[in-house]
Amino acid sequence: DADVTQTPRNRITKTGKRIMLECSQTKGHDRMYWYRQDPGLGLRLIYYSFDVKDINKGEISDGYSVSRQAQAKFSLSLESAIPNQTALYFCATRPRRNTGELFFGEGSRLTVL
């Protein structure tokens, strides 16, 4: 089983709908991240969390919210999805004491019609 698991892997939704992407990890890491990948733009940071009480905005947090329900779970929500939120979303983790390497999930592909 994957150490960083994202659900769903694929989702098609309509404009205005609420959608939640979930991430769970078995690595015991306290840092968790949500990135968005778009062709030609690379990965851009949406939100990150140092622990369950510490949530931080990334560079493109508008239109998104997150919840850190437990050390192992970090969810990304789109309250009212819009077509330009169509993208591949990645969750990543890392331990507090390391030199920065991130461990990625396999991604969640979201299409907003």
Partner 1 sequence: AQSVTQPDIHITVSEGASLELRCNYSYGATPYLFWYVQSPGQGLQLLLKYFSGDTLVQGIKGFEAEFKRSQSSFNLRKPSVHWSDAAEYFCAVGAFGGATNKLIFGTGTLLAVQP
Residue 68, both tokens: 């850190």
- Residues 63-82, interacting with partner 1 (CB under 8 A): none
- Residue 100 near partner 1 by CB under 8 A: yes
Side chain identity at residue 110, one-letter code = L
- Which one of 34, 48, 64, 74 is in contact with partner 1 (CB under 8 A)? 48
CA angle, 30 as apex, 47 and 24 as ends, to 5°?
70
Number of residues written out for the chain: 113
Specify the residue, 20 or 43, whose C-beta has the smaller distance to partner 1. 43
* Segment lying near partner 1 (by CB under 8 A), choices 18-26, 68-76, 79-87, 100-108: 100-108
CB-neighbour burial class of residue 46 (10 A; exposed 0-12, middle 13-18, buried 19+): buried
Instruction: Give the residues lining the site for partner 1 (CB under 8 A).
Output: 4, 31, 33, 35, 40-45, 48, 50, 56, 58, 90, 92, 99-102, 104-107
